[in-house]
Amino acid sequence: MNIAVIGSGGREHALCWKIAQSPLTKKLYSIPGNGGTKEIAENIDIDLNNFQKIYTFIKQNSVNLVIVGPEEPLVNGLVDFLIKKKVNVFGPNKKAAQLEGSKIFVKNLCKLKKIPTANFKVCYSLKDIKKNIKFFSFPVVVKADGLASGKGVFICKNYKILISSAKKIFNGEFKGTKKLVLEEFINGEELSYFLIVDKYSFKFFGSAQDHKRAGEKETGPNTGGMGAYSPSLLLNKNLEKKIITKIVTPTLKYLKEKKIIYRGFLYVGLMIKNNNPYLIEYNVRMGDPECQVILPLLKSDLVKTIQCAIKNQLFKTKIVWKKKKSMTIVLCSKGYPGKFKKGMEIQSLEKIKNINSTLIFHSGTKFNHGSYYNNGGRVLNIASIGGNFLKIRNKIIDTLKILNWKNGFYRKDIGWRIFKN
């Protein structure tokens, strides 16, 4: 069949990489794609907000299946638009995508369904902040409502930092949103828990731990993600039972009560404290860079699994995983998540392409006149699988040293909590 993947990041490159392995895949398109996807798919340069142009291309090229990768077109209703045009598309619709599009929506859902989460207050102004801070002790968490690519979250150690962070949100620095959630800080360890969901059921789709901060040992500003590993060592049967019964089931039940059908990947962002889960956030797609460590461990045919979900027949498919470990380290442009230069050549990429057991997923690259250039803050994901996390990490770092891109930086401590003892 002809398949189109919507998006241009490392997640979409990983999706294309896995989809290309399916015997069901005849022709693969990446819309708009990046410097890496061009090696396994045909890149089609269409703006993700131009729904009509996307549909016209799909119709003219007899595309049988569309998979929407990133959050923005999901939240903006691309799936709804394509369903109305009778296109076979995988991803949650606009109403379901509120789980990521509005933190306030999720917090109110948690309150209604008694889902364990951090205590919170919604604030629309500095006046609201000053009025509500009495309900919290420092540190506190401030989150921009809406989409902020992982960067609209601040852990504030004191009142001065709180006000400074709130001003950034109220000034519209994060995709224009001027609302925020003031939230209790839960001192625990993060767990990314993934599901694939259809109208009637859901199945486990991997676990991971992401590293959001730009600096080592979780210092510096928040980013879209600096690296990840899978599976998470936090996950056990008792904890997973709590995640399903206390968080996932009440959430999906609420959506059904509101006549909202959820069909797609669901990322459950959790904080684990004393083996108890607290919901931090939902994402309505695979995480990035978590996707780049989960898909290399997937033995099953991704296309077949997605087809079953679209037909609401997930119960018919068995999802099989490799009994291995995986890790990725993200190579970023210097200056990220702040200002950085684009168009800097990545000269030694060919040197690392054929290193055994190494996977390269492009996040923000462009291919032009025979060379690769950075085109975003997160540039490359160097990933690998094996039996030992430390050996995997050392191998990835050795690969990055061979690449030796002078215009980038990366964290050398991905997975540091595993090794701290």
| Per-residue pLDDT of the chain in tens (421 residues, 90 and over written 9) | 999 999 999 999 999 999 999 999 999 999 999 999 999 999 999 999 999 999 999 999 999 999 999 999 999 999 999 999 999 999 999 999 999 988 889 999 999 999 999 999 989 999 999 999 999 999 999 988 877 666 688 899 999 999 999 998 888 777 657 788 899 999 999 999 999 999 999 999 999 999 999 999 889 988 989 999 999 999 999 999 999 999 999 999 999 999 999 999 999 999 999 999 999 999 999 999 999 999 999 999 999 999 999 999 999 999 999 999 999 999 999 999 999 999 999 998 989 988 888 999 999 999 999 999 999 999 999 999 999 999 999 999 999 999 999 999 999 999 999 986 4
Going by C-beta distance under 8 Å and a sequence separation of 6 or more, which residues neighbour residue 2?
26, 27, 28, 29, 61, 62, 63, 64, 65
Residue 403's Cβ-side half-sphere holds a number of Cα atoms within 13 Å equal to: 30
Residues 350 and 394 in one domain: yes
* C-alpha triplet 209, 255, 319: angle, nearest 5°: 45
Query: Is there a domain that residue 33 lies in?
Result: yes
pTM over 0.85: yes
**Among candidates 66, 48, 83, which has minimal Cα distance to 261?**
83
Residues 301 and 275 in one domain: yes
Residues 9 and 83 in one domain: yes
Query: Is there a domain that residue 166 lies in?
Result: yes
Phi, psi dihedral angles at 31 (to 5 degrees): -115, 110
**Among candidates 401, 226, 228, which has minimal Cα distance to 330?**
226
Our measurement of the distance from residue 116's CA atom to the centroid of its chain's CA atoms, rounded to an integer in Å, reads 22
Domain containing residue 414: CATH number: 3.90.600.10
Tokens of 410: 């990366």
Enclosing domain of residue 356: 325-419
Q: For residues 116 and 298, give the distance between their C-alpha atoms in angstroms, rounded to a whole number.
A: 30
Residue 171 DSSP symbol: T
CB-based contact 174:151 (threshold 8 Å): yes
Tokens of 330: 């993200």
Domain containing residue 249: CATH number: 3.30.470.20
Amino acid at 226: M
> Which H or E run contains 223?
none
Tokens of 19: 């989809």
- Radius of gyration for the alpha carbons in the chain, expressed in angstroms and rounded: 21
Tokens of 57: 């291309």
Q: How many domains does the chain have?
A: 4
Greatest alpha-carbon span in the chain? 60
